[in-house]
């Protein structure tokens, strides 16, 4: 027996839309189109960086006996999250002002095996001539008070649109598997408690960050022994940054 297909919108929603005056409706539609045009280059910026990192990863897998990149993920900031940041940063609510003030609309996360790999991948990526470094925050050398560790870099990459090239900022976060494990659990806890995390849990999280840091050191040491590399690992940003 054929059943009626579910309607796309409820009668209530259709009636509500019909009650909006046509000028407001076309203003909202124009905003949707403007937002789609605004956000599109950021998606392409993510594609550019993700391709660069995937190429490095494949090259390592093909030609070397060891691959420093465990996995890559990306996200485009949602309209709601851009709006929250506009309010938090007291930014003028225009596309032009948002473009200038908010540099993490496009985000790529690179998870590496060891701390030295984080810096190595950072160097390989930022040495590419079309990758322009705008800002570096080294939360590995200087962790946040809660224990958060990662290497953050805002880079600008050219995206070639039909109207010409556009320089797009992309926030790249590089971290180890242990740092990523800690950050994703901390993020979930932060959201579960809506930012009001109980003191005892905060203390446990900070202690866990220390344990994760120790694990990174031990695992890298074991890895170096197995590979026959002498000496302790050296972590540092290149002098040019």
Crossing angle, helix 199-227 and helix 177-192, to 10 degrees? 170
In angstroms, the CA 38 to CA 172 distance is 20
In angstroms, the CA 16 to CA 169 distance is 39
Tell me if residue 131 falls in helix, strand or coil.
coil
Crossing angle, helix 115-126 and helix 22-63, to 10 degrees? 110
Among 44, 45, 68, 104, binds ligand 0O2 (CB under 6 A): 104
Size of the site for ligand 0O2 (CB under 6 A): 10
**153: part of which helix (H) or strand (E)?**
strand 151-161
Among 152, 219, 233, 237, binds ligand 0O2 (CB under 6 A): 152
Least distance in angstroms from the C-beta of 119 to ligand 0O2: 17
Least distance in angstroms from the C-beta of 145 to ligand 0O2: 9
Cβ pair 110, 172 in contact under 8 A: yes
In angstroms, the CA 158 to CA 132 distance is 9
Question: How many other C-beta atoms lie within 10 A of the C-beta of residue 205?
Answer: 18
Binding mask 66-95 for ligand 0O2 (x = CB under 6 A): ------------------------------
Q: Single out the catalytic residue among 59, 62, 70, 171.
A: 171
Residue 186 near ligand 0O2 by CB under 6 A: yes
Applying CB under 6 A, the span of 16-24, 143-151, 207-215, 224-232 interacting with ligand 0O2 comes to: 143-151
In angstroms, the CA 171 to CA 133 distance is 10
Residue 148 near ligand 0O2 by CB under 6 A: yes
Closest chain position to ligand 0O2 (CB): 148
Least distance in angstroms from the C-beta of 161 to ligand 0O2: 25
Applying CB under 6 A, the span of 27-35, 43-51, 181-189, 193-201 interacting with ligand 0O2 comes to: 181-189
In angstroms, the CA 104 to CA 25 distance is 30
In angstroms, the CA 151 to CA 144 distance is 12
Applying CB under 6 A, the span of 19-27, 65-73, 183-191, 222-230 interacting with ligand 0O2 comes to: 183-191
Least distance in angstroms from the C-beta of 64 to ligand 0O2: 30
Q: Is 171 a catalytic residue?
A: yes
Q: Catalytic residue numbers? A: 171
């Amino acid at each position: 027996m054929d059943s009626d297909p579910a309607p796309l919108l409820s009668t209530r929603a259709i009636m509500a839309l019909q009650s909006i005056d046509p000028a407001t409706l076309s203003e909202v539609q124009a905003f949707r189109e403007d937002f789609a045009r605004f956000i599109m280059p950021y998606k392409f910026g993510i594609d550019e960086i993700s391709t660069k990192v995937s190429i490095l990863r494949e090259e390592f897998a093909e030609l070397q006996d060891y691959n420093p990149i465990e996995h890559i993920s990306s996200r485009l900031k949602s309209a709601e999250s851009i709006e929250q940041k506009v309010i938090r940063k007291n930014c003028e609510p225009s596309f032009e002002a948002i473009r200038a003030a908010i540099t993490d609309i496009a985000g790529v996360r690179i998870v590496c095996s060891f701390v030295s790999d984080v810096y190595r991948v950072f160097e390989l990526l930022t040495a590419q001539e079309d990758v322009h470094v705008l800002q570096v925050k080294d939360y590995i050398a200087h962790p946040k008070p809660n224990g958060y560790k990662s290497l953050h870099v805002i880079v600008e990459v050219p995206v070639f649109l039909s109207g010409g090239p556009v320089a797009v900022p992309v926030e790249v976060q590089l971290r180890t598997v242990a740092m990523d494990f800690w950050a994703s659990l901390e993020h979930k806890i932060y959201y579960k408690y809506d930012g009001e995390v109980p003191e005892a849990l905060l203390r446990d999280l900070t202690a866990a960050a220390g344990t994760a840091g120790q694990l990174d050191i031990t695992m890298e040491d074991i890895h170096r022994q197995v590979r026959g590399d002498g000496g302790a690992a050296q972590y540092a940003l290149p002098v040019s940054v």
